[in-house]
Structure 1
């Protein structure tokens, strides 16, 4: 889906992150790096919210530059961990993956459909 009036060829967002909600320590999520037009400023990020869908923590957001690049085409984000690529979440949290400047809007929809089925796991 596009957001804020932007058509899907410019921006797409997930409606959820599978496994969101647990406030436990040392959770992790690894997913394929999205196919975006990075040369023209394409980027992605994850924003988290509390159980009432408000920003609930100081460390609520992570950009692609702070995520762990695993060197194999995947990225990792931790939740409630002591890593530099971790965000802080509380019980009942929810989150959104934001993608800007997809190379192919239809392919990005497929990537989002895959992403929302990748579960967060315990480290």
Structure 2
């Protein structure tokens, strides 16, 4: 799934935005994981800390994850330039339909 950050700019800076998702059913015990990595429009990593994953993100009470972009006072924040693209990766799914769903 390719995520598009439609952040608005104000004074040349990207305003905060967020995405909430429920991860696919992954086989974590066999090395499965998810990650979100942000890239510049030229395809380079957006920042030194350009990603977040299931091993670093804090899960919401309902099993979802909310990832914030450019919101330093929130948990699960990735600081990014604007515009960016973000790629959500899911590795070692339990089955094909869990990725599609």
Instruction: Please confirm whether the aligned pair reaches a TM-score higher than 0.5, indicating the same fold.
Output: yes
Greater than 6 Å deviation, 4+ residue runs: none
TM-score (norm 2): 0.82
| Cα distance in structure 1, aligned partners of 2:36 and 2:46 | 14
What pairs with 1:1-123 in structure 2 (closer than 5 Å)?
14=1, 16-18=2-4, 20-22=5-7, 24-82=14-72, 83-110=74-101
Contiguous gaps of at least 5 residues in structure 1: 1-13, 111-123
Higher strand share: 2
Secondary structure of 1:99's partner? strand
Contiguous gaps of at least 5 residues in structure 2: none
| Cα distance in structure 1, aligned partners of 2:64 and 2:46 | 27
Native 8 Å contact 1:66 1:84 kept in 2: no
Q: CA RMSD in A?
A: 1.7
| Cα distance in structure 1, aligned partners of 2:94 and 2:43 | 30
Q: How many equivalent residue pairs?
A: 95
| Cα distance in structure 1, aligned partners of 2:60 and 2:75 | 14
